[in-house]
Amino acid sequence: MASRADFHTHSTFSDGRLTPTGLIDLAHRNGVRIMSLTDHDIVDGLSEAFQAAARYPDFTLVPGIEMSTDVEGGEVHILGHFIDWQDDAFRERLGELQESRLGRARKMVDRLHELGMPVTWERVEFFAGEGAVGRPHIALALVEAGHVATVNEAFDRFLSRTGPAYVERDKLTPQQVIAIIAGVGGFATLAHPREFGAPQGFEPLLDELASAGLTGMEVYYQDYSPDDVAALRRLADRLGLISLGGSDYHGLGGPRQREPGDIPLIMEPVERLLDLAKSRGVLGRAKGPAALR
Ligand code: AMP
Ligand code: ZN
Ligand code: FE
Ligand code: FE
């Protein structure tokens, strides 16, 4: 069943397979009427995305980003919605993160050579295209070179956090990223909480993040079961966090892939986010009818 809202998607400007235009066309076809483009550590796709969204009078686009952070033993992704994506200092900071991603990807390519699984930097660059480079681009080069059969296998054998070719990124804490997002007037949401790698789980961290200014938590996500959703929803409610979610669509396939609109995001929390945006005077950063109510 198609739902109307999706607050987590990726395009070619990070590690998604579709251009912002292709992504919005697919989302609209799937019945999505309010969507956020949330590329990894980059906002450069938003300008095309707003142009594409303008072709659909019944479609609202919320400017967004997904930022990677590190904590002891794990990785935490934070979504930012309703950000002032054109802010100069913000874009400069994102430029630094992209530089750091480049250096880190080159090191991972070196590691793969040492491991006897060579891929060329040119192919990684090709898969990364115009946007921020990430591990999925290296995974695609590994598949192309025939070292692995799938992107998932590339992660399982080489690129996961504990894999032999893994190299760390520039480290930012979740608190720093929450502050960066708040600094451009956006709302920070903890992404896919169950994907957090640390053995103790994310719950001990959640109180800290809530006090640091977190607004929401992803509750509706990919293959989360009804029980997962119910448990996450209770946790979000207890901490006063808005229960958001989305497909995290990348278009790279795999068993967990869901298309935009496949995640049954209920509208009540979405309305809460929109009300909050309205009360902070940032609703107009979204383009489309729902933002104009
Ligand atoms: P990076 O931004 O370079 O650290 O890469 C992170 C991205 O890799 C995530 O956003 C996912 O899209 C992808 N990813 C992480 N783990 C896996 C996995 N096990 N299988 C496939 N893709 C993954
Ligand atoms: Zn990704
Ligand atoms: Fe993520
Ligand atoms: Fe994502």
* Shortest-distance ligand to the CA of residue 107: 1
Within 70-223, where are the H helices?
88-114, 121-128, 135-144, 151-154, 174-183, 203-211
Query: Quick one: tokens of 243?
Result: 């229960």
Average pLDDT over residues 108-130: 96
Nearest CA to ligand 1 atom 13: 136
- pLDDT > 90 fraction of the chain, expressed in percent and rounded: 84
Q: Which pLDDT score is estimated for 3?
A: 53
Which ligand has the minimum distance to the alpha carbon of residue 132? 1
Residue 1, pLDDT score? 36
CB of 155 shorter than 6 A to ligand 1:
yes
210, pLDDT greater than 80: yes
- For the entire predicted model, the pTM comes to 0.94
Looking from the CA of residue 41, the nearest atom of ligand 1 is: 2
Distance 15 CA to ligand 2 centre (A): 5
Ligand nearest the Cα of residue 136 is 1
Is 131's C-beta closer than 6 angstroms to any atom of ligand 1?
no
What percent of the chain is modeled with pLDDT above 70? 96
Locate the ligand 1 atom nearest the alpha carbon of residue 68 and give its number: 2
Q: What is the CA(252)–ligand 4 centre distance, in A?
A: 12
The pLDDT-based confidence of 293 (bands split at 50, 70, 90) is low
Q: Is 100 in the pocket of ligand 1 (CB under 6 A)?
A: no
Q: How many CB atoms lie within 10 A of CB 258?
A: 15
Q: What is the mean pLDDT of the chain?
A: 93
Please determine, for residue 2, whether its predicted confidence score (pLDDT) is greater than 60.
no
Interval between CA 245 and ligand 4 midpoint (Å): 11
Asked if pLDDT for residue 26 goes beyond 50, the answer is yes
Q: Where are the beta strands (DSSP E) in the chain?
A: 5-6, 34-37, 60-71, 74-81, 187-190, 216-221, 242-246
Q: Residue 15 pLDDT more than 60?
A: yes
Q: With beta carbons less than 8 A apart as the criterion, state whether 181 and 188 touch.
A: yes
What is the whole-number distance in angstroms between the Cα of residue 247 and the centre of ligand 4? 8
